Amino acid sequence: MRVGVSPLISAGVVAYAQRVVAALPGRGKDSLVLREADLSELCTALDDDELDLIVVPAVLPLTRYRHRVIGSEPVVLVEPGAGDAAGPANSASPADPAAPASPAEARAAAARIDDVARRTLLLVPDTCGLTTFTRDLLADRGLPLRAYSGEAASYRVLEDWAGMGLGSALLPRSKVTRADSSTRPVVDARGAAVTITYEAAWDSASPIADELDILAGLLAS
């Protein structure tokens, strides 16, 4: 079973997918072949029948395929510098990105989306889905995106650059890895947590469509 995953997907989800596939009738521990790639590459591989199923952020209308939401996690604003009033934040466990906020994060004042729009935002290239999510989050509310003129190569670089004071960054909580990163939960106008959603997509005409449906269902459970 050939499964493609976005770099945004937590290691815990990938490990669970491996265990699920190995437990399917007629399968085993070597039955899963993983490919990690950016969103556009994964979609092309699915189109070209090079992958059976992809797990990606739900930022594109994958209308040609069956798809199922498998989970979501809170988004945080990584602030410039470290050790400010927001305090240090520890990331959620990769195996449980929806885990409750750390005590430091819980004490931090939430950042409303209009607050986010007033920041200079650090971005990664518009290929993995995170930048598309950020643009859509603001555009859907008629808010401008003030983007830093450069681009970071990875989520860790976003944290490093925020720590250097170059700007702020939006990240899924599970992608915050530095213990000294200052983060604030992001909320909408009603005070509800802003989350990023992940989904599995596959071709219903695939010869193993039944297995893929089972895998997606178990990932969502």
| Structure confidence by residue, pLDDT tens digits, 3-42 | 999 999 988 899 999 999 998 888 887 889 999 999 999 9
pTM beyond 0.75:
yes
- Kindly report, residue by residue over 141-191, the tens digit of the pLDDT: 999 999 999 999 988 899 999 999 999 999 999 999 888 889 999 999 999
DSSP state of 204: T
Give the containing element (helix H, strand E) for 8. none
For residues 154, 101, 186, 12, the Cα torsion angle rounded to the nearest 10 degrees is 40
Share of the chain above pLDDT 70, in %: 87
Helix (H, G, I), strand (E, B) or coil at 68: strand
**Maximal C-alpha separation, the chain:** 55
DSSP one-letter string for 72-134: EEEEEEEPSSSSSTT-B-PPPPTT-TTSPPPHHHHHSPPEEHHHHHTSPBP---TTSSHHHHH
Give me the chain's average pLDDT, please. 87
Cβ contact 62:43 at 8 Å: yes
Question: How far is it, in rounded angstroms, from Cα 163 to Cα 157?
Answer: 10
Question: How far is it, in rounded angstroms, from Cα 204 to Cα 218?
Answer: 17
Question: How far is it, in rounded angstroms, from Cα 10 to Cα 95?
Answer: 7
- Kindly report, residue by residue over 190-207, the tens digit of the pLDDT: 999 999 999 999 999 999
For residues 42, 46, 52, 55, the Cα torsion angle rounded to the nearest 10 degrees is 40
Question: How far is it, in rounded angstroms, from Cα 17 to Cα 63?
Answer: 23
Q: Is 192 exposed, middle or buried (0-12, 13-18, 19+ CB in 10 A)?
A: exposed
pLDDT at 101: 52
DSSP one-letter string for 25-61: TT--TT--EEEE--HHHHHHHHHTTS-SEEEEES-S-
